[in-house]
Amino acid sequence: MPTTRLDLDRIHAARRVIDPMFLNTPMYRCDALGRRLGCAVSVKVETANPVRSFKARGTELVASLLASAGRTAVVCASAGNLGQALAWSGQRRGLHVTVVASRQAPAAKLDRIRALGAELELVDGDFDMARERAVDISRERGIRLLEDSLDIETCEGAATIGLELVDKEVPFDTVLIALGGGAMATGMGYVLKTLAPQVEVICVQPSGAPAMTRSWHSRRVITTESTDTIADGVAGRRPIPEVLDDLLAVADDAVLVRESSIMAGMRLLLEQTGLVVEPSAALGVAAVLEDRDRFAGRHVVSVICGSNVDLDSYRQWVHQ
Amino acid sequence: MPTTRLDLDRIHAARRVIDPMFLNTPMYRCDALGRRLGCAVSVKVETANPVRSFKARGTELVASLLASAGRTAVVCASAGNLGQALAWSGQRRGLHVTVVASRQAPAAKLDRIRALGAELELVDGDFDMARERAVDISRERGIRLLEDSLDIETCEGAATIGLELVDKEVPFDTVLIALGGGAMATGMGYVLKTLAPQVEVICVQPSGAPAMTRSWHSRRVITTESTDTIADGVAGRRPIPEVLDDLLAVADDAVLVRESSIMAGMRLLLEQTGLVVEPSAALGVAAVLEDRDRFAGRHVVSVICGSNVDLDSYRQWVHQ
């Protein structure tokens, strides 16, 4: 059993707090997609819910804890999906939710954060600039700052996906996990390495936002000056040391993929499964496309982690 | 409790036979869609599975019964979705599956029926011509003919969706059900009228394929000479008397919608929920679009019954 900040009992307990709407999401084998990729492929679909991503698993925990403690407000920085999820979970529990996001984030994500009743503050610059501003707001107002991947609830929420994978009777060889801040990879990775250690845990990041992958390979935090990828959901520059430590304990590999592969992955997912996905959710398929030999004949599970896209951009990407 | 061919105990028992992959499908409220429609809207998503429609709920029952009885083959006529589902369920139980379909059915549906290992026979003419040919094959080969909507298992399978709706704690006022042969409407309608009789059951059919709706209003079978709709999944001309009788016992209304409304519904579902749906799955939203006053302020549930589309056609429909 790997030693990380996570704990299996707490992850089991998390399932009792998260709205069932976000649990037991569809998972099934897509033979048509598998034929195109030369391996067996199952998808775990995290997009059929009101916030269209897996992030509510974590925000349900956070919002529930805050409401129980009598707290009334919370702030987070978000690339777009965490903010929607926190807005959804917070609104249902009477919390005032403030989300700080980059002005460059997809308009669809920003619109939905507002529509869900959150206060949205936009910053010039990227996600890591939004993180700095969220810290300031937290201090100014004396309210809880939710930090994605650092705060254990975000990892525990994602870890419940891992429980659902190992509950399946159908065995699989490899799970492909989009790597951004690391909540999903460390959360799911911990559960898999604890309950199904034979499963290979591979993290996938865009070449245009490689900080965490480089850090994993170097076993120390490596930051980058900028990011350049359509996969906005995973475009961070500054890995969090505690999260990297956890990732080192649970990931078997971390790979980088090209933008063209991400687009090809989105197109394949649309054509072969009928799913509209955001770029981050196509990273797993992109990884197989770039290294078919590695996955040939294996059974891989890819987590379809989000579907919040600007449709105009999406059409350009999939029709290329 | 309405008197139909269905039985609640059998429907409960069906849930134990159907592969869990097809059960407990996502259901959630889409506030963004609701704002556009002027009412609260929840979707029940039946597309996140290997056959991308609800039809496997019924074919799981049929294939399981046949396999238990030592039968080795089955034939059905299909507009496309039943054939895929029967191929999937049959293949897993060692059954030889023959599907008869119209040459005009969407290529995507036909390709997937073949890919799932079924023998596919195409006929010139429409779905009702395919039904005739399937009867012939059944007689020639002495094998079971599965008739959608007439055979009780197809209705019982669809009825399990109804059980999942009434299990929800969130109350709703109206359920909008795509009406073709009538399996889904009679199955779900029976469960709702039995366990939640206050819920209004409204069937929706395209104006270009109105046979069952006209029959329901006239309380006798009315056939049509032809059909003209993009909603291939519900385009029948010859209602089945036994199914009409059941529908008369459980439906509160049956309405017709225009093609332009179906396309607008598909577009709204893509934009506001991120779901790619086939035309039949947009009938519910189309019905709200055509009669906003009727649904204003109510909570309607729309079953997203399938997502098998030819993408080229889909793009034309949603971009108009």
Q: Supply the CATH number for residue A33's domain.
A: 3.40.50.1100
Who's near B258: CB < 8 A, 6+ residues apart? Answer: B206, B207, B286, B290
Cβ–Cβ < 8 Å for B279, B208: no
Which residue of B36, B167, B311, B313 to mutate against A (max A Cβ within 10 Å)? B311
Q: Is the pLDDT of residue A93 over 90?
A: yes
Chain A residues in contact with B309 by the CB 8 A cut-off are 274
Cβ–Cβ < 8 Å for A43, A27: yes
Q: What stretch of H or E contains A276?
A: none
B21 at interface of A, judged by CB pairs closer than 8 A:
yes
Query: Is residue B60 domain-shared with residue B191, that is, in the same domain?
Result: no
Query: Is residue B23 domain-shared with residue B162, that is, in the same domain?
Result: yes
Name the nearest CA neighbour of A295 among A255, A268, A239, A260: A255
Q: What is the pLDDT of residues A58-85, one digit of tens each?
A: 999 999 999 999 999 999 999 999 999 9
- Report the domain count for chain A: 2
Put simply, the answer to whether A308 touches B274 (Cβ < 8 Å) is yes
Put simply, the answer to whether B274 touches A309 (Cβ < 8 Å) is yes
Query: Is residue A294 domain-shared with residue A212, that is, in the same domain?
Result: yes
Indicate the burial class of B198 (C-beta count within 10 angstroms; 0-12, 13-18, 19 or more): exposed
In a domain, A1, yes or no: no
Q: Is the pLDDT of residue A8 over 70?
A: yes
The helix/strand/coil state of B170 is coil
Residue A130, both tokens:
């939004």
Q: What is the pLDDT of residues A239-296, one digit of tens each?
A: 999 999 999 999 999 999 999 999 999 999 999 999 999 999 999 999 999 999 999 9
What span, in angstroms and rounded, lies between the C-alpha atoms of A57 and A79?
17
Per-residue pLDDT at A167: 87
Last residue of a domain, one of B146, B172, B188: B146
pTM: predicted TM-score of the whole model, two decimal places: 0.96
Query: Is residue A215 domain-shared with residue A198, that is, in the same domain?
Result: yes
Average pLDDT over residues A180-189: 97
Higher-pLDDT residue of A184, B108: A184
Query: Is residue B171 domain-shared with residue B259, that is, in the same domain?
Result: yes
A107 at interface of B, judged by CB pairs closer than 8 A:
no
The helix/strand/coil state of B115 is helix
Per-residue pLDDT at B93: 97
Last residue of a domain, one of B90, B118, B146: B146
Q: Is the pLDDT of residue A320 over 70?
A: no
Nearest-Cα distance to chain A for B54, in Å, is 13
In a domain, B1, yes or no: no
Burial A126-165 (b: 16+ CB within 10 A, else e): bbbbbbebbeebbeeeebbbbbbbbbbbbbbbbbbbbbbb
The helix/strand/coil state of B123 is strand
Instruction: From first to last of the 320 residues of chain B, give the pLDDT tens digit.
Output: 899 999 999 999 999 999 999 999 999 999 999 999 999 999 999 999 999 999 999 999 999 999 999 999 999 999 999 999 999 999 999 999 999 999 999 999 999 999 999 999 999 988 889 999 999 999 999 999 999 999 999 999 999 999 999 988 779 999 999 999 999 999 999 999 999 999 999 999 999 999 999 999 999 999 999 999 999 999 999 999 999 999 999 999 999 999 999 999 999 999 999 999 999 999 999 999 999 999 999 999 999 999 999 999 999 999 86
Question: What stretches of B172-242 adopt beta strand conformation (E)?
Answer: 174-178, 200-206
What span, in angstroms and rounded, lies between the C-alpha atoms of A113 and A111?
6
Name the nearest CA neighbour of A36 among A281, A320, A300: A300
Query: Is residue A47 domain-shared with residue A60, that is, in the same domain?
Result: no
A84 at interface of B, judged by CB pairs closer than 8 A:
no
A266 at interface of B, judged by CB pairs closer than 8 A:
no
Chain A residues in contact with B279 by the CB 8 A cut-off are none
In a domain, A3, yes or no: no
Query: Is residue B168 domain-shared with residue B71, that is, in the same domain?
Result: no
Cβ–Cβ < 8 Å for A96, A72: yes
For residue B48, what are the domain limits? 8-52+158-319
In a domain, B153, yes or no: no
Q: What is the pLDDT of residues B38-82, one digit of tens each?
A: 999 999 999 999 999 999 999 999 999 999 999 999 999 999 999
What span, in angstroms and rounded, lies between the C-alpha atoms of B61 and A282?
34
Put simply, the answer to whether B48 touches A45 (Cβ < 8 Å) is yes
Chain B residues in contact with A27 by the CB 8 A cut-off are 21
Residues 110-139 of A with CB under 8 A from B: 112, 115-116
Per-residue pLDDT at B320: 67
What span, in angstroms and rounded, lies between the C-alpha atoms of A316 and A179?
24
Q: What stretch of H or E contains B122?
A: strand B119-123
Alpha helices in chain A (DSSP H): 8-14, 31-37, 56-68, 81-91, 107-115, 127-141, 152-166, 183-195, 211-218, 241-250, 259-273, 283-290, 292-295, 311-319
Tell me, what amino acid is at B174? T
In a domain, A2, yes or no: no
Chain B residues in contact with A271 by the CB 8 A cut-off are 311
Tell me, what amino acid is at B274? G
Angle between helices A81-91 and A107-115 (to 10 degrees): 10
A308 at interface of B, judged by CB pairs closer than 8 A:
yes
Q: What is the pLDDT of residues A15-74, one digit of tens each?
A: 999 999 999 999 999 999 999 999 999 999 999 999 999 999 999 999 999 999 999 999
Tell me, what amino acid is at A83? G
Average pLDDT over residues A216-231: 96
Question: Chain B: residue nearest A45 by CA?
Answer: B48
Per-residue pLDDT at A288: 98
Query: Is residue B128 domain-shared with residue B243, that is, in the same domain?
Result: no
Query: Is residue B142 domain-shared with residue B162, that is, in the same domain?
Result: no
Nearest-Cα distance to chain A for B136, in Å, is 31
Name the nearest CA neighbour of A179 among A126, A215, A140: A215
Q: Which of B30, B50, B271 sits opposite A30 (nearest CB)?
A: B50
Per-residue pLDDT at A1: 82
- Count CB pairs under 8 A between chains A and B: 64
Query: Is residue A230 domain-shared with residue A206, that is, in the same domain?
Result: yes
A167 at interface of B, judged by CB pairs closer than 8 A:
no
- ipTM, 2 decimals? 0.94
- DSSP designation for B196: -
Q: What is the mean pLDDT of chain B?
A: 96
Last residue of a domain, one of B118, B146, B174: B146
Token match 């729309």: residue? B302
Cβ–Cβ < 8 Å for B155, B186: yes
In a domain, A271, yes or no: yes
Q: Is the pLDDT of residue A158 over 80?
A: yes
What span, in angstroms and rounded, lies between the C-alpha atoms of B163 and A189?
35
Token match 């010039």: residue? A124
Name the nearest CA neighbour of A37 among A294, A317, A285: A285
- The pairing of beta strand A40-45 with beta strand A27-29: antiparallel
Query: Is residue B213 domain-shared with residue B315, that is, in the same domain?
Result: yes
What span, in angstroms and rounded, lies between the C-alpha atoms of B12 and B115?
32
Token match 């293949």: residue? B91
Query: Is residue A107 domain-shared with residue A197, that is, in the same domain?
Result: no
